Chain A
Amino acid sequence: MREVAILGQGLHPWGKFEAQSVTELCRHAVEAALGDAGVKWRQIEAVAAASSRFSGGKGWGLNGNDIVEDMGSTGIPVYNMSAGCAAGANAFNVGHMLVASGQHDIVLVMGGEKMPKGFIQTSGLEDPTDPEYLRQRCVGLPGPGFWAMLCRQRMAQHGTTEEDLAAIAVKAHKLGAMNEYARFRKEFTMDDVLNSSMVNYPLRLYEICPVSDGAAAVVLCSKEIAEKAASKPVWVASSAVATADFNDGLPRHLACTIGPENAHHSEAKIAVRKAMQAAGVEHGDIDLIELQDNTVYYELAFPEEWGFIEPGTAEQWVAKGDTMPTGKLPINPSGGFQSFGEATTAQALWQIVEVASQLRGEAGGRQVPNAKIGLAQSLGLGGNATATVLRV
């Protein structure tokens, strides 16, 4: 396997963009990535794209084909990847393999999404054989209710308080306010968060993420090309994809077995473990983490489930500022999903771009001092997860 570098990267800011198509958002990100990489469209040898769930792609998730037609058809291969909200990093994984294997030297990875308003209808099917339809029809459990149940379990187990949760939202927005690509660039006080409306106890409106539009792109290249480039490359130390363990005790449909596994989202734990092993890094080597915080709860649970923090102590880390960019374990210096909102299939790639920005030392007021190694993690419907380790 060859070493692979991120030669360039680009984002379209996250937000709501009624007048623009998803392909227009993607083109903005792609042109920014090409410009950053210093390569022309004609030099792109293959595209790995996240299949959009809600927008473009000819209704078949063919978003990579849309961008190729838009930029100019050159006959190159296109891989459209579907993995729920993990799709962006799934595409990154394929792009990485295309270069690492020696098949291609310069590959574009991209993802974009325009979200419909309101709740995500995870399947949209009205089919009694579809487990997601059955879950909504027989019980009724939209995403925030599911997250609230996990959080409530933590409260019972570890004594997490409503103030502990609000403190994470305050931290997220303090950082998001400094991020030019974030949708919400405003700081919140503890009172602001605790006075926001209760969605599903214990989670309030400012403790879950809304839906957003956005697009992200990166240009990957071989070591030979990266070393000739004008700017210092960010290296892909590893890219891992995983699915869930049978016995993890998380009912993704109507029921599951009660296993011994202490990580409820086993797919995320497996992906992170695989990525760290492949990169040859230990917990203490990682300078920052961008993790999927659909709700502030995940900023407590995930670092513990992955072995970074002793179980039941993450609240204290947040309170002491240890998860801030200048702390012991910076988590979501971007401002996270709390500041960006969820542009489902695009967001995993945005997280990778954020980590790369940190390693390039270009994160401004959010900069993690002397960041050398970063981890990005995503989670998607169907028990999909990804983890990516970057280094400089």
Chain B
Amino acid sequence: MSEASSRETVESAEGLFAETPNGPRLCGSRCATCQTPYFPRSSGCHNPDCDASKMEDLYLGPKGRVWSLSVQTYPPPPPVVTVDPFEPFAAAMVDLEEGLRVLGRIVADDPGQLNVGDEVELVIAPLGHDPEGREVVSWQFKPV
């Protein structure tokens, strides 16, 4: 890895999360008609009972509660981003206050320290490096 590439940072995906004046948020949307929230942003409402899809942008987070979680103890294949050498990481399904269940990795010293029901909050943090050696950052959750 060159010095230049090691300093380069990319987002895991464009337009899915943002650092706002109030802190990190997920970039979602909501249907103004039926109030259904979405992440990532949706161009149309998927609620089969909603007759008038009317989408508006909405920042989601930062507070949530772990619905369930798992520790990834072995290196998964790309495009999963990991650190080299591989270190286990926890991933979770987190229930946000806006009524969305969202996937995200857990930032914690010990990936096994969290439990179902624990409170977490959004952070933007590195996942590891991509095959080109660039650091990849993404939304994650950390214990409160």
Contact = CB atoms under 8 A, between A and B. Distances in A.
B138 A139 contact: yes
Which size bracket describes the interface of B in this complex? 35 or more
Is the contact region of chain A dominated by helix, strand, or loop, or is it mixed?
mixed
Interface residues of A, number: 36
Q: Looking at B16, B36, B48, B79, which has the most chain A CB atoms within 10 Å of its CB?
A: B79
Contacts of B5: none
Contacts of A60: none
Contacts of A28: none
Contacts of A258: 95, 99-101
B115 to A, nearest CB: 8
A134 B40 contact: yes
A256 B101 contact: yes
A327 to B, nearest CB: 30
B81 interface: yes
A369 interface: no
B46 A201 contact: no
A136 B78 CA distance: 8
B39 interface: yes
A185 interface: no
A299 to B, nearest CB: 18
Contacts of B48: 246
Contact of A255 (B91, B92, B100): B100
A137 interface: yes
Interface of A: 118-119, 121, 126, 128, 133-142, 145-146, 148-150, 152-153, 155-156, 198-201, 246, 249, 251, 254-258
Interface of B: 12-14, 16, 28, 36-40, 46-48, 67-74, 76-77, 79-82, 89, 91-93, 95, 99-105, 112, 115-117, 127, 138-139
